[in-house]
């Protein structure tokens, strides 16, 4: 990992241009690691993300007795599958602040049985897991809360999954449904398994990622819209041999937004028109705001179309990339409203509060509700010292405030605690700097 100072100072940037090779998707990387561990056979994972979140998943797999190794060239990770039979039945698993690790592991370990303690950093212990635990316990699992009900740390003991008709709420985090789906083949050895979604399901594109990857590993899920998902009995995970991890579409948003603000062209490589990630739809928002977009099979290129247009949209489907839209709103020609972003409140920090607080430092007018944010751009962008709340997306988003657009001068921006970007993109600031051409 790079060395990080206490803060990074960014000077105004006149324009940006260049090409970025994206790091692997966090969502795809951690799902692929767990599926590889549960599968029959060895899986070679290429372009796996190297970050805090994948590091804790790899350590957890090692603690569970699952064999993996990096290739000599360092461009792939080889995981030896267990056919759903974990070698280790008792472990203390530290999972940092990785929701993509703790939630799927909770479901898998609850079904497989053993004695496991799952915990993380302080913020992880403030992020809800109760809906997932309720769904599992009601089906025969034995999961206990160590401290506060509904939140990690949790202890998993031997249970017996007797129900094959599960229910889970969908309005807090799509990761709860993802966790049950990924564990469903472990439950469906003798009976079909159906998972019912109670209420509205948020962040649907992340479920598409899960279903797509399960298919890669040989498991097909039947669905009734977004209301129920059925796995026919007898299906097991089988290694596809080699898996390539797509570039991270959420990380791409910062560089593509930079081009929309400050000229471009900027090309990101590793995702394209056929990406399985929902956050690629962020590019549609850029087009509606006036940016110029070119798609390829494995790249997306954006350049500015002039002053950005304001928007009023629902961002339920792309909540992570919506944070980048909030920064674009600072450069827009009028007030913008981001709706249906309530899931921000249970992420790495309460992102609605954090974004509102820091956007005001830039001189923007901000109004916030339970699940919405209204941003009115100021006449200019103020120099500011930005707090990042140990949230990688806060740091990356607010780096964009140093950019100059056709109608606004970029500001001098200090980003506190830049190390938080190591969660998903350790080299972010070096890559951002390489694109930047100073005033």
Strands 228-231 and 263-269: unpaired
Q: Is residue 350 annotated as part of the catalytic site, yes or no?
A: no
Residue 158: both structure tokens together: 């031997």
Do residues 303 and 261 make contact, with C-beta atoms less than 8 angstroms apart?
no
Q: For the chain, how many residues are written?
A: 439
CA distance 23 to 249: 9
Q: Which of 248, 320, 387, 417 is catalytic?
A: 320
CB 175 within 8 Å of CB 105? no
17: which residues sit within 8 A by CB, 6+ positions away?
A: 259, 263, 264, 265, 266, 435, 437
> Which tokens belong to 198?
């109670």
3-state secondary structure of 277: coil
- Does the N-terminal peptide bond of residue 384 adopt cis geometry, omega within 30 degrees of 0? no
The rounded distance, in Å, linking the Cα atoms of 176 and 168 is: 7
CB atoms within 10 A of CB 399: 25
Residues 317, 346 contacting (CB under 8 angstroms): no
Distance, in Å, from the CA atom of 361 to the CA atom of 112, rounded to the nearest integer, reads 49
Cα angle: 378, vertex 380, 381; to 5 degrees:
90
The radius of gyration of the chain's CA atoms, rounded to the nearest angstrom, is: 22
Catalytic residues: 320
């Amino acid at each position: 990992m790079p060395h990080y100072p206490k803060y990074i100072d960014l000077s105004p940037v006149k324009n940006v241009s260049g090409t970025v090779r994206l790091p692997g998707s966090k969502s795809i990387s951690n799902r692929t690691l767990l599926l590889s561990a549960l599968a029959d056979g060895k899986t070679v994972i290429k372009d796996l993300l190297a970050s805090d979140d994948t590091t804790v998943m790899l350590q957890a797999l090692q603690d569970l007795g699952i064999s993996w190794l990096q290739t000599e060239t360092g461009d792939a990770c080889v995981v030896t599958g267990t056919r759903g039979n974990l070698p280790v039945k008792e472990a203390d698993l530290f999972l940092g602040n990785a929701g993509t690790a703790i939630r799927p592991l909770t479901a898998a370990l609850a079904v497989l049985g053993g004695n496991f303690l799952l915990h993380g950093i302080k913020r992880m212990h403030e992020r809800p897991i109760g809906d997932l635990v309720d769904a599992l316990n009601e089906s025969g699992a034995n999961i206990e809360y160590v401290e506060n009900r509904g939140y990690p740390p949790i202890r998993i003991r031997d249970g017996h999954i007797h129900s094959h008709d599960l229910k889970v709420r969908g309005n807090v985090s799509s990761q709860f449904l993802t966790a049950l789906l990924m564990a469903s083949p472990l439950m469906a050895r003798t009976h079909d398994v159906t998972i019912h979604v109670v209420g509205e399901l948020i962040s649907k594109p992340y479920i598409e990622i899960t279903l797509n990857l399960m298919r890669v590993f040989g498991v097909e899920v039947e669905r009734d819209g977004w209301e129920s998902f059925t796995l026919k009995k007898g299906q097991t995970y089988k290694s596809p041999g080699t898996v390539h991890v797509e570039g991270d579409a959420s990380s791409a948003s910062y560089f593509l937004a930079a081009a929309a603000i400050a000229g471009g062209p900027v090309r990101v490589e590793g995702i394209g028109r056929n990406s399985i990630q929902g956050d690629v739809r962020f590019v549609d928002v850029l087009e509606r705001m006036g940016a110029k977009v070119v798609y390829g099979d494995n790249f997306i290129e954006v350049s500015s179309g002039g002053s950005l247009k304001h928007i009023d949209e629902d961002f339920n489907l792309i909540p992570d990339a919506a944070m980048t839209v909030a920064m674009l709103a600072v450069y827009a020609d009028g007030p913008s409203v981001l709706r249906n972003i309530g899931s921000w409140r249970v992420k790495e920090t309460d992102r609605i509060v954090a974004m509102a607080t820091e956007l005001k430092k830039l001189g923007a007018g901000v109004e916030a509700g339970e699940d919405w944010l209204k941003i009115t751009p100021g006449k200019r962008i103020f120099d500011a010292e930005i707090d990042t709340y140990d949230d990688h997306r806060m740091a990356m988003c607010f780096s964009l405030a140093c950019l100059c657009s056709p109608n606004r001068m970029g500001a001098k921006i200090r980003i506190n605690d830049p190390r938080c970007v190591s969660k998903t993109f350790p080299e972010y600031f070096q890559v951002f700097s390489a694109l930047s051409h100073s005033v």
